[in-house]
């Protein structure tokens, strides 16, 4: 009896569970989605209190009339066409099936992807390409790609900078927000809870990126039974203008990662 037997045995579980794994999404704590809603509502109320009913919006610095405030952002991803749709018509019937997890791309297609392709780092040739997925939904457009070499992994997740991401932008002087040597595992004991989301995935501005900075992000899980438990792990994001490139690596050196990230966006 070994792990592969268990993995094979997983193939025989109840179909209902498989269907559930396919259809269900995780419920987020109510407070998580209520906060942005409440923030939007507050902005609308404040904006409305400053604008008389029939007044046109004041011109911006460039002389263009400002857009009136809207109640909600109806924009959906436009990069990938129909994949942004839920796949169900008004009558609830499925008129087509959206691809699972977005649009699967080849490596070449990923690098040629119009919006994010230039921000996809060039990976050393001896890494094997795993997959690339372009996603467009109501949370925005994203491009995800991953490569492997043995137990080493290199994954990249590119998106536009969201409002909720801005709190994770760190200044290089504030090493307490990104120096992983200050936070031994288990992080739940060592990281201050209010800063943990920033420390786990800080955002560096592209112009601040150096090899030494990346080295401060290194950590080793040291888990038993994990073949890559003693590999160097790196996880952080880099901001290029308003494009956010999040990288997660196992077994990749800081120098290799710096070489890949410092030349972005490629022209």
Partner 1 sequence: MEDSEIIRLYFLRDEAAISETAKCYGKKLDYLSMGILKNADDAGECVSDTYLKAWNSIPPQTPTYLYAFLAQICRRLCFGRLDYGNAQKRTCELVTLSDELLCCIPDSSAQAEYEEGAIGVALTAFLKTQPEEGRLLFLRRYWYCEKVAEIAARYHISESKVKTSLHRTRNKLKAYLETEGIFV
How many chain residues touch partner 1 (CB under 8 A)?
A: 60
Q: Which CB, 3 or 114, lies closer to partner 1?
A: 3
Minimum distance from CB of 164 to partner 1 (Å)? 11
Q: How much is the CA Rg of the chain, to the nearest whole Å?
A: 22
Minimum distance from CB of 188 to partner 1 (Å)? 9
Residues facing residue 245 across a β-bridge: 158, 238
130 binds partner 1 (CB under 8 A): yes
CA-nearest of 229, 211, 215 to 180 is 215
11 binds partner 1 (CB under 8 A): yes
Per CB under 8 A, the list member of 25, 54, 56, 75 interacting with partner 1 is 25
Greatest Cα pair distance in the chain: 76
Q: Quick check: 198 and 241 in contact, CB under 8 A? A: no
Task: Write phi, then psi, for 128 (nearest 5 degrees).
Answer: -90, 135
Per CB under 8 A, the list member of 104, 176, 210, 230 interacting with partner 1 is 104
CA distance 31 to 42: 16
Q: Which CB, 53 or 100, lies closer to partner 1?
A: 100
253 binds partner 1 (CB under 8 A): no
Per CB under 8 A, the list member of 151, 166, 195, 266 interacting with partner 1 is 151
Per CB under 8 A, the list member of 200, 208, 218, 259 interacting with partner 1 is 200
Question: DSSP label at 136?
Answer: E
CA distance 199 to 71: 33
Minimum distance from CB of 228 to partner 1 (Å)? 8
201 binds partner 1 (CB under 8 A): yes
Residues 223-242 that bind partner 1 (CB under 8 A): 224-228, 235
CA-nearest of 195, 205, 208, 235 to 219 is 235
Task: Write phi, then psi, for 2 (nearest 5 degrees).
Answer: -140, 180
Minimum distance from CB of 195 to partner 1 (Å)? 14
Part of the chain binding partner 1 (CB under 8 A), chosen from 13-21, 62-70, 109-117, 236-244: 13-21
Per CB under 8 A, the list member of 76, 107, 131, 262 interacting with partner 1 is 131
Question: DSSP label at 250?
Answer: E
3-state secondary structure of 2: coil
**Core vs surface per residue 144-180: b (16+ CB within 10 A) or e:** bbbbbeeebbbbbbbbebeeebeebbbebeeeebbbb
Q: Which CB, 60 or 104, lies closer to partner 1?
A: 104
Neighbours of 48 (CB within 10 A): 11
Part of the chain binding partner 1 (CB under 8 A), chosen from 52-60, 69-77, 113-121, 141-149: 141-149
Which spans of this chain sit near partner 1 (rule: CB under 8 A)? 1-22, 24-27, 93-94, 96-97, 99-101, 104, 128, 130-131, 133, 135, 139, 142, 144, 146, 148, 150-151, 153, 155, 157, 187, 197, 200-201, 224-228, 235, 248
């Amino acid at each position: 009896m070994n792990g592969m037997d268990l993995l094979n045995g997983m193939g025989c579980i109840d179909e209902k569970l498989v269907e559930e794994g396919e259809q269900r999404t995780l419920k987020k704590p109510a407070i998580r989605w209520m906060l942005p809603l409440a923030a939007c509502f507050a902005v609308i109320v404040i904006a409305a209190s400053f604008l008389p009913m029939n007044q046109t919006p004041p011109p911006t610095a460039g002389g263009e009339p400002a857009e009136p405030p809207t109640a909600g952002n109806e924009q959906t991803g436009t990069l990938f066409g129909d994949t942004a749709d839920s796949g169900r018509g008004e009558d609830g019937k499925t008129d087509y099936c959206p691809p699972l997890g977005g649009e699967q791309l080849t490596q070449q297609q990923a690098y040629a992807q119009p919006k994010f392709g230039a921000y996809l780092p060039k990976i050393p040739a001896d890494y094997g390409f795993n997959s690339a997925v372009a996603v467009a939904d109501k949370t925005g457009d994203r491009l995800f790609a991953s490569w492997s070499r043995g137990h080493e992994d290199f994954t990249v997740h590119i998106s536009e900078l969201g409002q909720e991401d801005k709190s994770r932008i760190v200044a290089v002087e504030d090493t307490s927000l990104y120096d992983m040597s200050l936070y031994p595992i288990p992080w739940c004991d060592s990281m201050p809870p209010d800063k943990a989301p920033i420390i786990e995935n800080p955002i560096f501005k592209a112009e601040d990126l150096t090899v030494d900075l990346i080295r401060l992000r290194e950590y080793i899980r040291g888990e038993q039974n994990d073949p890559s438990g003693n590999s160097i792990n790196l996880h952080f994001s880099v901001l290029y203008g308003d494009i956010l490139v999040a990288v997660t690596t196992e077994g990749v050196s800081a120098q290799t990662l710096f070489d890949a990230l410092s030349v972005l966006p490629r022209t």
